[in-house]
Amino acid sequence: MFGTSASALRVGGASTAAVGLRSAALAQPLHASGAVLAVASRPFIASAAAALTKPKPVEYSERKLLKFSPTQLCDVVANVNEYARFVPYCTRATMHTPYQPLPTGLPAPLIAKLRTVPKPLPGVTAALRTPTSADFTAMSATLGVGFGQLSESYTSRVTQLTPHLVVAEAQPSALFTDLLHVWSFAPGPVPNSTWVDIYLKFTFRSGLHAGVAAVFFDQVNRQTIQAFEERARIVYAAPRTTPVAASTGVATAAKAAAVTAAAAAKAKVTAAPARAGVGAAAAAARAVTAASK
């Protein structure tokens, strides 16, 4: 089913939410029981407690089926210069240079990071199969994020292997000690469709940021990935798609959820947006900073 997604969130190496199926009718915020991700009824109390602890790495993953080709989606994600036009909370985006070929392929530190991705992703597999390929390109870009009068920026190294992979590595900043964001693209079950796999891992520098982020993380991620989908529709003049059958376990679960909802409410279940995008963690941090003032 186009737009169907499966996602998982991990904090400090421990799973805090089971893989979840989201739809517009069934979507609910992710919650967790630890000190970082708080029980919904008392989020700010838990956030205050988390501010006193060392931030833990946050890992987020999602799979989604979209009705665009891998090349189309890869180009939208890689075109960082356009982010300020559509990514929530992004105030500016500057590519310092065009994408340049990497004659010797992937640098060793990036290879090591990609090998830590806990789930085999098609784009990562393609990259690690030929890490010395001259088809890799890379550039650096600075993103500004802001809310009201508050603003900050960070710089990322973005590497792509069209049409398989886009990887962003943020340099240490006031917001993050580290950030790795992987977009993987693989052909879907029908022509001009793509399985998009997203993996995001980052660590906030501030415990306060990490604590309050629990309140906003889900919402900001959904807004951000929806923005990328809408951007693809605009760039390629594509109409909104209606749900269609796909051939994976995710689609089977989606169909079951839709049938259940239809029986209970006599209403259509439409596909919900996913919750991650290059720069999603920065947008969460921006909302966190604004909320903590």
Q: Is the pLDDT of residue 8 over 60?
A: yes
Better-scored residue on pLDDT, 117 or 279: 117
In the prediction, which pLDDT does 130 show? 92
Can you identify the CATH homologous superfamily of domain 57-236?
Answer: START domain (3.30.530.20)
Render pLDDT for 26-78 as a digit per residue (tens, 0 to 9): 233 323 333 233 333 344 445 455 555 778 888 888 899 999 999 999 999 99
2 contacts 270 by C-beta, under 8 angstroms: no
Closest to 278 measured CA to CA, from 147, 93, 138, 1: 93
Better-scored residue on pLDDT, 23 or 4: 4
In the prediction, which pLDDT does 167 show? 97
In the prediction, which pLDDT does 53 show? 73
Provide the sign of the torsion angle of the four alpha carbons 29, 32, 38, 39, taken in this order.
positive
Task: Determine how many CB atoms are found less than 10 A away from the CB of residue 256.
Answer: 11
In the prediction, which pLDDT does 177 show? 83
In the prediction, which pLDDT does 50 show? 52
Q: Is the pLDDT of residue 168 over 70?
A: yes
Q: Per-residue confidence at 149, pLDDT binned at 50, 70, 90?
A: low
Secondary structure element (H or E) that encloses residue 137, with its range: strand 137-147
Q: Residue 256 contacts by C-beta under 8 Å, 6 or more apart in sequence?
A: none
Annotated domain spans of the chain:
57-236
Q: Is the pLDDT of residue 193 over 90?
A: yes
211 contacts 47 by C-beta, under 8 angstroms: yes
In the prediction, which pLDDT does 152 show? 75
96 contacts 142 by C-beta, under 8 angstroms: yes
In the prediction, which pLDDT does 211 show? 67
- Ranked by mean pLDDT, the top range of 55-69, 104-118, 169-183 is 104-118
